[in-house]
Structure formats: C-alpha cells, structure tokens
C-alpha cells in the first residue's frame, strides 16, 4: 500500500513546517487528494494516523478533501469531469482525453498550537 509512504512524507512535511513555526503541536491538517491520483482517501486517512505517532502531528485531525478529476476532450473541445482514468468522455463517449486536473496530493491547511 503506497498510501503509507505518502502518509509518512506528508507527516514529515507538516512536522518540519510546524517546527519551523515554533509549534508545540499540530491541531488540524487539510489534505487535497485528486480523484485521478491513484490514492484512496480512506486508506490515506488510516495511514496518516499511524504515521503521525510520536510526532508533533500525533492527535491532529486530518481533513481530507477529494478533488474531482478533469480532462480536456479533444473531440468535444471542452473540459469535462472524469471519475477515473481510462473512462470515456461523459459528453461524447470519446477517448481522446488529456488529464487537466485531479491528480494532486497536497497539504492545503495546517492549524498549529
């Protein structure tokens, strides 16, 4: 499960930033997960709790927001929503698509004390 390595990296990033700000602990962390990014939000949430043990992030509330997938359809000449990679265009059924969004995994907010 690659979510654990992602969780360890996210916790490390948050802890480093919190220490740099002189924080004693992290209260909440907002995380954006793109639907097309090959990350399961539930698995990431589970792994984040484990990865945070023994760090300034332990006990923090993780607010995970799943961002929608978007793609440019060359046949429709428009940006369309996409639920998964390899899916056809919801407008025309074509497969000439270029991913335009929904691949991200990033920390969006952090509350420290």
- Domain with 39 in it: what CATH number? 3.30.2320.50
pTM: 0.88
26 found inside a domain: yes
82 found inside a domain: no
pLDDT band for position 47 (cuts 50, 70, 90): very high
C-alpha closest to that of 36 among 69, 67, 66: 69
Average of per-residue pLDDT across 39-52: 97
Domain that holds residue 10: 3-69+101-112
Give the pLDDT of residue 1.
62
Task: Give the Cα separation of 106 and 103 in Å (integer).
Answer: 10
Q: What is the tally of structural domains in the chain?
A: 1
Residues 3-23 pLDDT 10s: 999 999 999 999 999 999 999
Q: Which residues pair with 108 in a beta bridge?
A: none
C-alpha closest to that of 42 among 16, 64, 71: 64
* Cα of 99 vs its chain's centroid, Å: 16
51 found inside a domain: yes
15 found inside a domain: yes
94 found inside a domain: no
């Amino acid at each position: 499960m690659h979510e654990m390595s992602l969780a360890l990296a996210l916790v490390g990033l948050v802890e480093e930033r919190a220490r740099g700000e002189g924080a004693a602990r992290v209260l909440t962390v907002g995380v954006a997960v793109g639907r097309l990014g090959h990350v399961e939000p539930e698995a990431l949430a589970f792994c984040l709790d484990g990865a945070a043990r023994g760090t300034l992030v332990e006990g923090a509330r993780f607010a995970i927001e799943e961002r929608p997938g978007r793609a440019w359809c060359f046949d429709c000449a428009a940006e369309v929503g996409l639920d998964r990679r390899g899916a056809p265009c919801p407008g025309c059924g074509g497969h000439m698509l270029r991913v335009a969004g929904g691949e991200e995994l990033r920390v969006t907010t952090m509350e420290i004390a």
